[in-house]
């Protein structure tokens, strides 16, 4: 162990945990990608991949997932940044929080909009928007907005930190 790594056990632990979180996020992304790939291969083998209805179904179902994958990819990068540098208000952290916030918010909106559209297009029924009340999507949307606000607060904290560092 180097002299630097033993200097701050809490920092070392923080960095190690973020490396683990990065690996976890990578595994989740790979699992989702594998499920999508298997689905496309199954559709191809069934000969349904080129049917308009099949393409429409996949596009409607996966559209929110693309935003959530963007959030996961951004979190993976955030964990890698924190694993290298430790806790800080560095710009990469605040940008990542804002991106995750936007990804969750947009994914939530896509989920809330696509639910009724899926029912209408795929099941040929028209139901009111209230019939597909999606609590998880609403929750993710609010969490996304909170992350956008936190990113803004962290940017301000970083500016204050920089000013204070100038005095020292």
pLDDT, one tens digit per residue, over 147-163 is 999 999 988 888 888 88
| 48: pLDDT strictly greater than 70 | no
> Three-state SS across 83-131?
HHHCCCCCHHHHHHHHHHHHHHHHHHHHHHHHHHHHHHHHHCCCCCHHH
Across 40-68, average pLDDT: 79
Cα dihedral: 25, 28, 29, 30 (round 10): 120
145-153: Cβ within 8 A, 24+ apart: 145/101, 145/105, 146/101, 147/97, 147/98, 147/100, 147/101, 147/104, 148/97, 148/98, 148/101, 148/102, 148/105, 149/101, 150/97, 150/101, 151/94, 151/95, 151/97, 151/98, 151/101, 152/98
Give the pLDDT band (50/70/90) at residue 7.
confident
Determine the pLDDT at residue 146: 97
> Are 114 and 60 in contact, with CB atoms under 8 Å apart?
yes
Look at the pTM and tell me if it is higher than 0.95: no
pLDDT in tens, 99-151: 999 999 999 999 888 777 776 766 666 555 555 578 888 999 999 999 999 99
Across 24-31, average pLDDT: 97
Determine the pLDDT at residue 14: 93
Determine the pLDDT at residue 42: 83
Determine the pLDDT at residue 3: 43
Residue 25 is encoded by which pair of tokens? 């996020």
> Are 136 and 104 in contact, with CB atoms under 8 Å apart?
no
Give the pLDDT band (50/70/90) at residue 26.
very high
């Amino acid at each position: 162990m180097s002299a630097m790594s033993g200097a701050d056990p809490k920092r070392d632990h923080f960095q190690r945990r973020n490396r683990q979180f990065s690996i976890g996020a990578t595994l989740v992304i790979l699992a989702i990608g594998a499920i999508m790939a298997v689905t496309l291969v199954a559709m191809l083998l069934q000969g349904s991949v080129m049917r308009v209805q099949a393409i429409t179904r996949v596009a409607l179902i996966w559209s929110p997932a693309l935003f959530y994958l963007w959030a996961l990819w951004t979190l993976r990068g955030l964990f890698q940044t924190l694993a290298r540098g430790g806790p800080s208000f560095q710009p990469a952290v605040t940008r990542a929080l804002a991106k995750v916030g936007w990804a969750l918010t947009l994914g939530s909106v896509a989920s809330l909009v696509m639910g009724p559209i899926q029912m209408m297009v795929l099941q040929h029924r028209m139901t009111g928007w209230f019939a597909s009340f999606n609590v998880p999507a609403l929750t993710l949307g609010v969490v996304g907005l909170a992350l956008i606000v936190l990113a803004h607060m962290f940017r301000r904290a970083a500016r204050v930190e920089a000013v204070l560092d100038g005095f020292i």
